[in-house]
Chain A
Amino acid sequence: EDKVVQSPLSLVVHEGDTVTLNCSYEVTNFRSLLWYKQEKKAPTFLFMLTSSGIEKKSGRLSSILDKKELFSILNITATQTGDSAVYLCAVGLYSGGGADGLTFGKGTHLIIQP
């Protein structure tokens, strides 16, 4: 069974800290790994990673994929209270017919204290 595991499940840090969120996966036919931020309802897209070792960066957020060790990390530097959210990791798989439903982890609930 395909599995995506995120850690930690919850994290409380102070504003200005740097955090690292982890995502490991055990799946067949890996295609891509995606990170989403979910504040209230709609998950918003952060990154899609398909190749190992290539860091993707957007402002204070960055992410990298290791396809040999089957994990990804999401880093947030100089955290702000607006970064408080649930961060979801999802894996896209190759499937028959090309369809690509995502398999999600449970998410990391990040709380940034002022």
Chain B
Amino acid sequence: DAGVTQSPTHLIKTRGQQVTLRCSPKSGHDTVSWYQQALGQGPQFIFQYYEEEERQRGNFPDRFSGHQFPNYSSELNVNALLLGDSALYLCASSLGLGQNTEAFFGQGTRLTVV
């Protein structure tokens, strides 16, 4: 049973560029959330997708956008990259919206902006 998979594992981008990160949820899961984890900090909630719609958003600017596909996989897009966007980006999947079930995390994508 495949867990949550994310790609790529590492990425280096230049300020001002755009980046797309990908996530496949755990088998049977239909809800995907994205988190940003800066060094030495806990993960910060970016947004959550369910039924291909953004259902909840954390305190992140519009430069952060996402998408969920019919197969439940998801993408996170970040435009006009800033140095401060350098972080580990984690995807988590769970079953159902508001079902209060535990979220399972992927290995993350380490994004470095130079």
Contact = CB atoms under 8 A, between A and B. Distances in A.
A24 B7 CA distance: 34
B100 to A, nearest CB: 6
Interface residues of B, number: 30
Size band of the A side of the interface? 20 to 34
B45 A42 contact: no
B55 interface: yes
Contact of B100 (A32, A41, A42, A107): A32
B59 to A, nearest CB: 9
A31 B35 CA distance: 19
A111 B107 CA distance: 21
Interface of B: 4, 33, 35, 40-45, 47-48, 50, 55-56, 58, 88, 90, 92, 94, 97-98, 100, 102-108, 110
